[in-house]
Amino acid sequence: MKPRDEILSRLLDLHPKRIDLSLGRIERLLLALGNPEERLPPVVHVAGTNGKGSTIAFMRAMLEAAGKSVHVYTSPHLIDFNERIRIGRPGGGMLVDDAALEQALARCELANAGAPITFFEITTAAAFLLFAENPADVLLLEVGLGGRVDATNVISHPALTIVTPVSIDHPEFLGDTIEKIAVEKAGIFKRGVPAILAEQNDNALAVLEAQANRVNAPVIVGGQDFVAREENGRFVYEDERGLIDLPLPKLVGRHQQLNAGTAIAAARRLDPSLPVSAIENGLTQAEWPARLQRLKRGRVAALAPRQAEIWLDGGHNADGGRALAQVMADFEEKSPRPLILICGTLATKETRAFLRPFKGLAQEVIAVPIGGDHHGRSPPEIAFAAQQEGIPAAASESVGSALEYLSARDWSAPPRILITGSLYLAGEVLRLDAAPLV
């Protein structure tokens, strides 16, 4: 085990709960560390239910194409913890290396002195140390959960805030209505700081605008103040400054076009002189793993039926299911294939609501477990949920076994396989995909 991993393991044991939303513990630790959160480059603080990471990926690519150095903080990671912390550099950033991460974690562990603190809180403090001590032009900071009492919300005066689409998720922590959840997301708004709002459910938008007005935060609203759409195979973005004709985003799906529009609006507000060429390059170069990622050459493709089309996505809530089903329907219209879902979900997620949009679209769901200590639903539970929604389903012991099961069949046409239901499952699949072919 690496020294970094030993420290991370110890940090997991500092609080009895994985999630315990509060600001007091991290504020205490940051004070002991000399308040690194006050020495950060300009911060773009990003909350929302779906699309946070993709919006950040587009924005980073655009800003880096304009020559800026960009720190990025996201969660959770898929394979390796270092994915959460990207250190900006001229010419393009890089994930934090083990040595720098180990040093920052050790400093936080020492300053914390064994006091109760959640894993996310203390590792966020370590990220702030790293960002404060490495110069950059901007920090793109993703909320971990909610916003109002999330550990990242110690930032008192960001340059900009963004709220991506709000929907029901984590009701046990954020509330069981979209209005309650929107209040939590709006907790990142700061007095006088512009807020970019992606296109929203009407109820969510009303709450977000009311909360922004309460702190006198100017709002720029998707679908009103800016519009993004596909038109004749191109991507059209329009705001008060006019219309821009752009290439389609590299990330696939109508929902990614909306995320790209939000990123453009934010990048242009942050840097009004941002050249169109940087926006173009950002759209076509942005990468964000496990968001409709095509798997073509690794071990997953080797296990799958011959010439199968394989997609991986970490979608896990009702809105995520709707977005994915829309993309699969678009694919089906352009290139018909049998659609098979390989699905694993957490026990805290509404599996039926996630699968419901696939009725009449998916030929079958193959339910699989999620490994580790993530409290996934059992494959029989997931299969039963699919059957309740009118989708034929079977249970399998792993993604690999599911792929082998599908490979043993005779197909009239190679299937389209969507592996989905959880970012934790997506991480497992990416590890499997990287395993040596034998």
pLDDT for the residue numbered 1: 74
pLDDT for the residue numbered 2: 81
Q: Which amino acid does the sequence have at 292?
A: L
Q: What are the distances in angstroms from CA 373 to CA 101, 377, 401?
A: 24, 12, 21
The CATH number assigned to the domain with range 3-285 reads 3.40.1190.10
pLDDT for the residue numbered 322: 95
CATH of 293-434, one of 3.40.605.10, 3.40.50.1390, 3.90.1010.10, 3.90.190.20: 3.90.190.20
Q: Domain-by-domain residue ranges, the chain?
A: 3-285, 293-434
pLDDT for the residue numbered 438: 61
pLDDT for the residue numbered 51: 95
Could you tell me whether strands 234-239 and 242-246 are parallel, antiparallel, or unpaired per DSSP bridges? antiparallel
Q: What are the distances in angstroms from CA 212 to CA 45, 50, 162, 219, 321?
A: 14, 20, 11, 7, 29
Nearest to 172 by CA among 191, 145, 143, 206: 145
How does pLDDT run along the chain (438 residues), one tens digit per residue? 788 899 999 999 999 888 888 999 999 999 999 999 999 999 999 999 999 999 999 999 999 999 999 999 999 999 999 999 999 999 899 999 999 999 999 999 999 999 999 999 999 999 999 999 999 999 999 999 999 999 999 999 999 999 999 998 877 878 889 999 999 999 999 999 999 999 999 999 999 999 999 999 999 999 999 999 999 999 999 999 999 999 999 999 999 999 999 999 999 999 999 999 999 999 999 999 999 999 998 999 999 999 999 999 999 999 999 999 999 999 999 999 999 999 999 999 999 999 999 999 999 999 999 988 778 999 999 999 999 999 999 999 999 999 999 999 999 999 999 999 999 999 999 999 988 866
Q: What are the distances in angstroms from CA 46 to CA 49, 72, 161, 195, 385?
A: 10, 11, 6, 10, 33
